[in-house]
A and B are shown apart, each in its own frame.
Chain A
């Protein structure tokens, strides 16, 4: 498992990283935690000439309170995201999902921004970010722009981040006091989800936000279920009935872990369970 030879750059500021990106264009690849990029390189599925490591840019790491939102730096590891008090208090769903990413070693290396930029439809962080209405701060040569979650995820492994841009941070509107649960369905512990459901609810139930993982080429919202739940009381039967609509509009893959119809069945069952747990029922 030897990657093709590449040059390695370790900028210490976003500006420096952007100018390196500008210079090398699509010959360059950004390296965050490397947990997705390195396997790609080692299996020679991609062969960039230059790898630009963001690891030395301290401003990209960390979590802060920004009034109505919690801001997570792109280079913050899954481990740090999971355990951070601000995350647990205001965007609990993110903490719950980060706890379910891969295993401990990978959580200590893999980053929040890297996972979202990688945009694997089976990645655990897209659905909660989508459900919570995250805003993605993207830096480019012309300055920074902010992209709404609904516009960020474009397709399989494809986001709104341009080739010459860097995701610097993600702003997640506070959902203080909302219950949350991430229901991940796997066959072995260290696996990507076959299907997962990210649910967060206010009260029981004033409002519900539900994101689906691996039910299409991007993370999806279970809008029909959300609508059916709003203002409903959190009874087992009621929630399960609302969850029957969770697979509407989804287009999941068929693979060794399950055919599309089975995944849709799972989405319905898991949505019911996730909402009930989020609501503390």
Chain B
């Protein structure tokens, strides 16, 4: 029953302002930290200052004697009820996975790990008492950095006997999706071009605006956890699975959540400790982290060394690609853990028709904060590598970087196309996106200006960077996840309910934390059901309200959750039709449905969906055998990922005297299929771009040799603000490549900007100074790195030491230690 598809879309495609914004901006909501319950106690965590140490003793007496302290608990005070932090994706059967207790009793494995918790009547008293907990440590050697970890000399977890957690391999020759990459490389060494590079994906910190916060109320039949999380449903599952509380006794609520970017896709030690303490004391408890704790102990992202070999013929047609990744898991294998780099495995071949491909990913454990998903998760790293390599290949062949891409990309006539990584791309049009981006960017003019500046030997040089990205999103077909040994499915659930007076309640299992689902989903329902936008209420983020779901990450909510919603709406219409036919005394086949109204064809007789909702509520007159409800549920398991793509062009100015870089222009033409709300899409693209640009230019989490986080505040972990970015030129193709695997034709956009932009920026920086002998600048491209690259003969940049402690009075540490 898809009668609604014929009516013109009134809402889809409309620049609706986000209905959630008024409440979010004016504070007419309650974030987790705003929740106050009667008798609620406050937690403060005692964290290890050492990256690796045995805990020899913990003296809690002074803390316990501190005013209004209710309890001080350490790891040994808990038994199995403390549960465990889970790894849901063991990437190989023999993966080495260290036990991850929320609060280890014997040994800490990163600086910031929790060793004790103080419970007091106020947060201030808890914090004061936490300072009085006297922990004695026996420091152990710490392993920091991927290359050190690979040596296996110092072990992050001595009991495992190695730092190597898992080796995951994909080989197109073996898989039958392509030919042998090694052979292609051998051939290219003899008769073609081989590009070999090592790229570093620095460690990043998701840095969501709202710090993590959790409240647990154990005082009713279902224990309730409020958490600033992306994944309330997964949390409920994991709490039940690891703490012995039956799922039916657990309610998890993600109220309005202030950003996540993957950083709140985690089952955190803090949540588990709050859960255990609340159960132990039978009192509500709250824990909200400080920003310093968040930077130190909330999971980090990226952190890979990529060893890459690209083989091509002399014309620049790629014949094979070999990728070896070493990925730093940090101290534990977190919830997705090694799955993050593995997600990239399918994307290194990007939009290209490579015949041969081999991918290896070695994950390693170190004594640093554990890593996991950060916006794009695996795909930005892959896109960076291949888009940087394609620029290098273009330079080698001596053609424009767009030309080299065109020689290798899948043309629009070739879709659907099965890639060398085994994915089937349904639709796409790289030619159209590139043409539109080039025109909007003023590509040829900027190239001319670049040539002139080179000619003149200007102090400020201009570079143009290209990134023709695609990505796989809409996580994920459950069977595919199963074949990769992921611990859950990838479906999504939705319900549509009609209230007696004809309003619509939509329940989704997606869990928005800033995306604007309430608005976009209302638009979809308004169009499909033919009801006013304002009449649709979207409910989510509470396992009592939305009992089924797999939450929000991986650009999945619209493309998977939206499709579940479409299916639920269609079921409602089917049900309503039976009632309408009955009440109109007509044959169901003679009914049309449009604008929220069934009409009998050829007459002026009709019934609005709202009238049918009221009639169902009354129940006075309905057909024999009809269940007295119009409400419907649907679960949708995607049949494929979807593959948004786009051409991003970036112009950077590089001051060759200082190494300072400045963005001059950024144009992106993204093809994301049908656009539900262009304004929300623009917001997603802008925010995504900034995060990707920030990886290229500013952000880097640095641990020193001892494993202390040096970039432990926003003074040293440089987040950009609007003052650091320019106005982006965001365009879309005139005729988008509609996704063929969902009804609305949508493709994900939540991560696109982040995935695409990083290589565009670095390519532009390198392009500006390539004529000065530069072919790489390590990220983030700090002025110092750019300057040293230009003056490469001066030798390698010295390892940076600690940053200036602007807030620290007296003694200084900027001469101590060396950055990793």
Residue from B711, B720, B801, B809 having most chain A Cβ neighbours under 10 A? B809
Q: Are the CB atoms of B716 and A188 closer together than 8 Å? A: no
**Alpha-carbon distance A214/B807, docked complex (angstroms):** 15
Q: Does B93 touch A at the CB level, under 8 Å?
A: no
Which residue of the partner chain B has the closest CB to A265? Answer: B787
For A141, list chain B residues within 8 Å (CB).
none
Q: Does A122 contact B806, Cβ atoms closer than 8 Å? A: yes
Determine if A190 and B809 form an interchain contact, defined as CB atoms under 8 angstroms apart: no
Q: Is the interface of A mostly helix, strand, loop or mixed?
A: loop
The distance in angstroms between the C-alpha atoms of A5 and B67, with both chains bound, is 13
B808 x A45 contact (CB < 8 A):
yes
CA distance A121 to B804 in the complex (A): 9
Contact assessment for B290 and A257 in the assembled complex, using a CB-CB cutoff below 8 Å: no
Q: Are A40 and B784 neighbours in the complex by a CB distance under 8 Å?
A: no
| Most chain A C-beta atoms within 10 Å of own C-beta, residue among B131, B710, B713, B782 | B782
Q: Is the CB of A59 closer than 8 A to any CB of chain B? A: no
B338 to chain A, nearest CB (A): 28
Does A46 lie at the interface of the complex (its beta carbon under 8 Å from any beta carbon of B)? yes
Chain B's nearest CB lies how many Å from the CB of A272?
A: 9
A27 to chain B, nearest CB (A): 15
Given contacts A1-B291, A256-B802, A257-B784, contact A189 B721 (CB under 8 A): yes
Contact B127 A2 (CB under 8 A): yes
- CA–CA, A5 and B122, complex, Å: 13
Asked if A259 contacts B784 (CB within 8 A), the reply is yes
- Complex Cα distance, B807 from A156, in Å, reads 12
Known: A187-B718, A259-B797. A103 touches B723 (CB 8 A): yes
Chain B interface size range: 35 or more
Task: Name the contact of B807 in the complex, choosing from A2, A4, A36, A254 (C-beta under 8 A).
Answer: A36
Number of interface residues of A (CB under 8 A): 38
Q: Report which of B700, B720, B802 forms a contact with A188, defined as CB distance below 8 A.
A: B720
- Which one of A2, A192, A256, A265 lies within 8 Å of B806 (CB-CB)? A192
- Does residue B128 face the partner (Cβ distance < 8 Å to A)? yes
Bound-state CA distance A61–B798 (Å) is: 45
Q: Which residues of B (712-765) have their CB < 8 Å from a CB of A?
A: 713, 715-716, 718-721, 723-724
**Which B residues are CB-close (under 8 A) to A5?**
124, 128
B784 touches A255 (CB 8 A): no
Residue B698, interface by CB 8 Å: yes
Residue B161 is within 8 A (CB to CB) of chain A in the complex: no
Which listed residue, B710, B716, B724, B800, touches A259 by the CB 8 Å rule? B800
Flag if B814 contacts A189 (CB, 8 Å): no
Tell me the chain B residues, 287-337 only, with Cβ under 8 Å from chain A: 290-292
Whether A256 contacts B698 in the complex (CB less than 8 A), given A120-B806, A185-B658, comes out as no
Q: Which of B292, B783, B810, B819 contacts A1 (CB 8 A)?
A: B292
* Of listed A40, A103, A255, residue having the most chain B CB within 10 A: A255
In Å, the complex CA distance between A189 and B725 comes to 10
Q: Min CB distance, B305 to chain A, in Å?
A: 20
Residue A43 CB within 8 A of the other chain: yes
A9 part of interface (Cβ distance < 8 Å): no
**A residues 1-58 in Cβ contact with B at 8 Å:** 1-2, 4-5, 36, 39-40, 43-46
Select one of B711, B782, B806, B814 contacting A36, CB under 8 A: B806
CB-CB nearest in chain A for B124? A2
Asked if A254 and B801 make an inter-chain contact with CB atoms under 8 angstroms apart, the answer reads yes
Q: Which partner residue on chain A sits nearest B802 by CB separation?
A: A255
With A253-B804, A259-B797, A259-B800 as contacts: A188 and B698 at CB distance below 8 Å:
yes
Residues of chain A within 8 A (CB-CB) of B787 are: 262, 265
Give per-residue flags for A121-145: 1 if the beta carbon is below 8 A from chain B beta carbons, else 0: 1100000000000000000000000
Min distance, Cβ A8 to any Cβ of chain B, angstroms: 15
* Interface: B343 (CB within 8 A): no
Nearest-neighbor residue (CB-CB) of A191 within chain B: B718
Whether A255 contacts B803 in the complex (CB less than 8 A), given A188-B720, A189-B724, A190-B723, comes out as yes
With a cutoff of 8 Å between Cβ atoms, the chain A residues found around residue B700 in the complex are 256
Query: B718's contact among A2, A188, A253, A259, by CB below 8 Å, is which?
Result: A188
Q: Taking A187-B783, A266-B658 as contacts, is the C-beta distance between A255 and B804 under 8 angstroms?
A: yes
Q: Identify the interface centre among A44, A187, A190, A259: most chain B CB within 10 Å of its CB.
A: A187
Contact flag A256-B819 (CB < 8 Å), given A36-B807, A157-B809: yes
| B residues less than 8 Å from A86 (CB atoms) | none
A253 partner residues in chain B, CB cutoff 8 A: 801, 804, 814-815
Verify if B240 is at the interface (C-beta below 8 Å from A). Answer: no
Residues of A within 8 A of B803 (CB): 255-257
Distance between B32 CB and nearest chain A CB, rounded to angstroms:
17
What chain A residues lie within 8 Å of B657 (beta carbons)? 269
A177 within 8 Å of B (CB atoms): no
List residues of chain A with CB within 8 A of the CB of B710: 256
CA gap between A103 and B698 in the complex, in Å: 18
B123 contacts chain A at the CB level, 8 A cutoff = yes
The reply to whether the CB of B58 lies closer than 8 angstroms to some CB of chain A is no
Contact between B292 and A43, CB atoms less than 8 A apart:
yes
Query: How many whole Å from A115's CB to the nearest CB in chain B?
Result: 11
Does B660 belong to the interface (CB within 8 Å)? yes
Q: Mark A206-218, 1 if CB is under 8 A from B, else 0.
A: 0000000010000
**Closest CB-CB distance, A149 to chain B, in whole Å?**
22
The CA-CA distance from A227 to B807 in the complex, in Å, is 35
Give the residues in chain B near A259, CB-CB below 8 Å: 784, 797-798, 800
Contact with B along A229-270 (1 / 0, CB 8 A): 000000000000000000000000111111100100110011
Cross-chain contact A4 with B798 (CB below 8 angstroms): no
> Is B290's CB under 8 angstroms from A1's CB?
yes
Look across to chain B and name the residue whose beta carbon is closest to the beta carbon of A4: B128
* Measured CA separation A266–B782 after assembly (Å): 13
In the bound complex, what is the Cα–Cα distance between A120 and B809 (angstroms)?
Answer: 9
Contact B809 A269 (CB under 8 A): no
Chain A 191-224 interface residues, beta-carbon cutoff 8 Å to B: 191-192, 194, 214
Q: How far is the CB of B194 from chain A (nearest CB, A)?
A: 34
* Cross-interface CB contact of B810 among A43, A157, A185, A188, cutoff 8 Å: A157
**CA distance in complex: A122, B807 (Å):** 11
Given A255-B801, A256-B700, A257-B782, 6 other A-B contacts at CB below 8 A? Answer: A120-B804, A122-B804, A185-B660, A185-B783, A187-B718, A214-B804
List residues of B whose CB falls within 8 A of some A CB: 123-124, 127-128, 131, 290-292, 657-658, 660, 697-698, 700, 702, 710-711, 713, 715-716, 718-721, 723-724, 782-784, 787-788, 797-798, 800-804, 806-810, 812, 814-815, 819
A residues with a Cβ closer than 8 A to B are 1-2, 4-5, 36, 39-40, 43-46, 103, 120-122, 156-157, 185, 187-192, 194, 214, 253-259, 262, 265-266, 269-270
- 12 example contacts (A-B, Cβ-Cβ < 8 A) are as follows A1-B291, A40-B808, A120-B804, A157-B809, A187-B698, A187-B718, A188-B723, A190-B723, A253-B801, A256-B710, A259-B797, A270-B658
